[in-house]
Chain A
Amino acid sequence: MFNVSSFLMSVICAGTPLLFATLGETITEKAGHLNLGVEGMMLMGAAVGFKVAEITKNPLLAVLSAAIAGALGALIYAFLTVTLKANQVVSGLTLAIFGEGLSGYVGSFVKIKVVPDQIKSFFVGRHIPLLGDIPYVGAILFERDLFVYLGYIVVIIAGIYLYKTRTGLNLRAVGENPAAADASGINISLYKYIHILIGGALCGLGGAYMSLVYVGQWTEGITSGQGWIAVALVIFTTWNPYKVILGAYFFGGLSILGLRLQNFKFNVSQDIIDMLPYVATIIVLIVTSMKKSKENAGPAGLSVPYFREDR
């Protein structure tokens, strides 16, 4: 029998790195910047997080360092595209290359084969009282590790932040029409820097989940392209944090579906299934361009550099 609930439990874990990365990129894009370097920031988070775990054996330090690594990568991108007004597409792609290289370099100093036990035991599945007792759903959603729960929290905070707070409103203004935001007295550069860095930190966390929990070891290129899926997912979920969580788990699920089905002699190639996220995103791209809905379009100021004294 195909164990649906066990499958769903794996889906939550498989989707978590995507969740963090996509949410991070969503926030960056809400600020008006397209950062294609997600894969690079995830890898940096994964490598640095793992190395710090090896040295300190402290889970919190490891996670924190991963976030910082991601944020530092984003800082390079932010400095280039916000202050120096460089081309965002090329800058992001370069960051991806940089991150791949740097993570490989850091990773070459890793001596241990698997994540230290202290980390492993910290991220063991934990049962949440009350919520975890809900039949069926409780076991899937509320008996996971702390990182997964962090994922839930971050999404909810992001949603509330973007749509219910003043600063969130200001951020959206910056991404939609920086000239209007500037004229209203909003500090454009500050908002961009902060949110690009937050985005990077989240991407770093996504990578850390891979190396510290999901796979539990460091290998080069451990994220295997999830950073690119995240970029796609941002569009697929129309820049909406609440939809991001659904999209991430959905695509995460797709990535492990092939293997599961094979146990059932459903010989669907995992490679074909692997194509699905990209195909789905293309469909979304096509459909949204055909409909031209202003509500579901990306921030109008996306990837356009802002210069106040532009005549």
Chain B
Amino acid sequence: MDNNVVIELRNITKTFGSVVANKNINFNVRSGEIHSLLGENGSGKSTLMNVLSGIYAPDSGSIFIRGKEVHFNSPKDSIKMGIGMIYQHFKLVDVFTASENIIMGQKGNLFVNKKKLSLQIREISEKFGLDIDLNKKVYNMSVGEKQNLEILKVLYRGAEILILDEPTAVLTPQETKKLFEIMRNMKKSGCAIVMITHKMDEVLEISDRITVLRKGEAVETVDRNSTSAKELINLMVGRPIDLSVKCVPTDKKTPVLKVENLTVYNEDKAKVLHEVSFELSEGEILGVAGVAGSGQKELCEAIAGLYPVAGGEILYKGESLVGKSPRDIINKGISMSFVPEDRLGMGLVPSMDMVDNMILKDYHTQKGILITRTNARKMAEKLVKTLDISTPGVNYPIRLLSGGNIQKVLLGREIESNPKLLITAYPVRGLDIGVSYTIYDLLNEQKKKGVAILYIGEDLDVLLGLCDRIMVICDGKITGIVDPRKATKEMLGLMMTGKSEKDSEGVNNVD
């Protein structure tokens, strides 16, 4: 066995009910290496890492740390072995300070010696370049700060094996760069790093070796230097796929939606949209790019009548939408559909079946006080066929369906109402490649019919490929609206962090 191998997973299998999340997986990591675990959503990456971090117990298989077999009964065991897991969804206590989060669960004296603690933490943060204010409460922190805290937490516990689960999901290109610096520092000091991701370009940038997972199995492990994007995608999906998202040209250009100087305040009285202005035409897909939390959610909800507008105008074919509730909007015959980011938390009712979810937006148009479900049932059955939704039946609770099928139900319902304006927020988040492309096709179909589409997305490549124009939003302000044919990812990245369109033009390298 390779003397540098720090972790080895042999024949790991893990099932949840009838779902086989991991099947006979073999995986190893060396010290001083960055090993990426690449796979689509649902391929089993997170499950495998949760086995390694002690959260899940494998059904069968063995784990070897530095050559000795181990069994983890809880995260505590894993931490003892020097494994530090940095989760995609942060495991931090909001009302604690940074230092309180770091020492929680640690062994030590009954009374905490604050000075000694600060010194110890400083040492580590300086060594790796992690910026942190120890007395800041987590609920006051930015996403980047929280991630730094998670990393610091894990290093403080003496982790020499770091596992990062989709670390760049919520970072800008610039922040991602900083993270990769930190990772390189750790690698230099001998740590073994596992990065779980579905982003191929990052994998190619930072990894030494790459293991591809597909549908719960480890397909192959390759050296970075001897592989290519094409090969990786092949391995991830099992077939060569044309990665380019096509933009379908149309020539209808009548403006349908006009937003003028839209200003919105959130619950804490902070301004989340600053005089936003733009137009959206029939048969056009306008993409919206921005770091998470820049105001996209509020923009969508304001237009849909779900968020209070403080100033400015939203005009649909000349008619003002400001101050109207969603029901008013429907009653006025304005056909607008909104596919929210939070599918199960907003767009659908998880414990109800497809039929009861179909009537969500139009049940109140039925006459009388009783509800009839016959039409809804027909619609549900039709959607199952046309969108190839995999479900045991239309009376099955939708929360038990897979992410892709849930999104199909949601999108299907919204499209069924034949909207003239369609707003979709992160429609392919968490979906695997095959389904994602189905959804892009669906959107292009609607576009050809003349629907005006506002597309909030996070994958810059998709935005550049799919949209007619891209609007970049940063801290509630529009930093520019660009032509995808002329823009680059780096340009978009700069605009997402505040540089205006002018300043970002022609930029190809990120410093």
- Contacts from A to B (Cβ < 8 Å): 164-167, 169-170, 172-173, 176-177, 179-187, 294-295, 300, 308-309, 311
Is the C-beta of B349 less than 8 angstroms from some C-beta in chain A?
no
8 pairs of residues in contact across A and B, judged by CB atoms under 8 Å? A173-B105, A176-B95, A177-B92, A180-B91, A182-B75, A183-B75, A186-B76, A295-B95
Could you give, for residues 328-361 of chain B, a 1 whenever the CB lies within 8 Å of some chain A CB and a 0 otherwise?
0000000000000000000000000000000000
Inter-chain contacts of B94 with A (CB < 8 A)? 176-177, 294, 300
Are B112 and A165 closer than 8 Å at their CB atoms?
yes
Please determine whether B75 and A180 come into contact, CB atoms closer than 8 angstroms: no
Question: Which of B96-104, B371-379, B419-427 lies at the interface with chain A?
Answer: B96-104
A185 touches which one: B16, B75, B111, B139 (CB < 8 A)?
B75
Report the minimum CB–CB distance from A158 to chain B (whole Å).
15
Q: Which 3 A-B pairs have the closest CB atoms?
A: A184-B105, A185-B76, A180-B91
- Quote the shortest CB–CB distance from B86 to chain A (angstroms): 10
Distance of A205 from chain B, by nearest CB (Å): 24
Chain A residues with CB below 8 A from B104, complex form = 169-170, 173, 180-181, 184, 186
Say whether B91 contacts A187, CB under 8 Å.
Answer: no
With A and B bound together, what is the CA distance between A182 and B101 in angstroms? 12
User: In whole angstroms, how far apart are the Cα atoms of A184 and B79 in the complex?
Assistant: 8
Q: Which residues of B contact A169 (CB under 8 A)?
A: 96, 100, 103-104, 112
Q: Give every chain B residue within 8 A of A180 (Cβ-Cβ).
A: 90-93, 101, 104
Q: What residues of chain A lie closer than 8 Å to B80, measured between beta carbons?
A: 185
Taking the closest CB of chain B, its distance from the CB of A83, in whole angstroms, is 16
Given A172-B93, A183-B85, list of 16 further CB < 8 A pairs? A164-B112, A166-B109, A169-B104, A173-B93, A173-B96, A176-B96, A180-B101, A181-B104, A182-B91, A184-B104, A184-B105, A184-B106, A184-B153, A294-B94, A300-B94, A311-B16
Taking CB atoms, residues of chain B closer than 8 Å to A183 are 53, 55, 75, 85, 87, 91
CB distance from B88 to the nearest CB of A (A): 12
| Contact A166–B106 (Cβ < 8 Å) | yes
What residues of chain B lie closer than 8 Å to A173, measured between beta carbons? 93, 96, 104-105
Q: Which residue of A lies closest to B89 (CB)?
A: A179
Verify if B27 is at the interface (C-beta below 8 Å from A).
no
Whether a CB of chain A sits under 8 angstroms from the CB of B369 is no
The answer to whether A187 and B76 touch across the interface, beta carbons within 8 angstroms, is yes
Q: How far is A296 from B272 in the complex, measured between Cα atoms in Å?
A: 26
Given A166-B109, A173-B104, does the pair A184, B95 have CB atoms closer than 8 Å? no
Q: Count contacts between A and B, CB distance < 8 Å.
A: 83
Q: What chain B residues lie within 8 Å of A165 (beta carbons)?
A: 110-112
Contact yes or no, B100 A308, CB < 8 A: no
**Beta-carbon contact of A185 and B79 below 8 Å:** yes
Selected from B16, B110, B139, B153, the residue in CB contact (under 8 A) with A166 is B110
The smallest beta-carbon distance between B96 and chain A, in angstroms, is 7
Chain A residues within an 8 Å CB radius of B368:
none
Neighbouring A residues of B101 by C-beta, 8 Å: 180
Q: A176-B96, A183-B85 are in contact. Are A308 and B110 (CB under 8 A)?
A: no
Give the docked Cα–Cα distance between A61 and B23 (Å): 59
Smallest distance from the beta carbon of A29 to chain B beta carbons, Å?
14
**Known: A184-B91, A186-B104. Contact between A164 and B56, CB under 8 A?**
no
Tell me, rounded to whole Å, the shortest Cβ–Cβ distance linking A165 to chain B.
Answer: 5
**Bound-state Cα–Cα, A42 to B26, Å:** 57
| Chain A residues whose C-beta falls within 8 Å of the C-beta of B75 in the assembled complex | 182-185
8 Å CB contact of A309 from B56, B90, B95, B153: B56
Q: Which residues of B contact A308 (CB under 8 A)?
A: 55
Interface bits B229-247 vs A (CB < 8 Å: 1, else 0) = 0000000000000000000
A166 neighbours in B (Cβ, 8 Å) = 103, 106, 108-112
In the complex, what residues of B have CB within 8 A of residue A167's CB?
110
Bound-state Cα–Cα, A173 to B87, Å: 17
Task: With a 10 A CB-CB cut-off, give which of B55, B56, B105, B112 has the most chain A CB atoms.
Answer: B105
Nearest CB of chain A from residue B319's CB, rounded to whole Å: 35
Q: CA A282 – CA B80 in complex, angstroms?
A: 47
Interface string of B98-136 (1 = CB under 8 A from A): 001101111011111000000000000000000000000
Question: Which residues of B, 45-81, contact A by the 8 Å Cβ criterion?
Answer: 53, 55-56, 74-76, 79-80
| Complex CA–CA separation, A166 to B90 (angstroms) | 22
Given A164-B111, A173-B96, A177-B94, residue A187 in contact with residue B74 (CB < 8 A): yes
Residues of B within 8 A of A182 (CB): 55, 74-75, 91
Q: Which residues of A contact B100 (CB under 8 A)?
A: 169
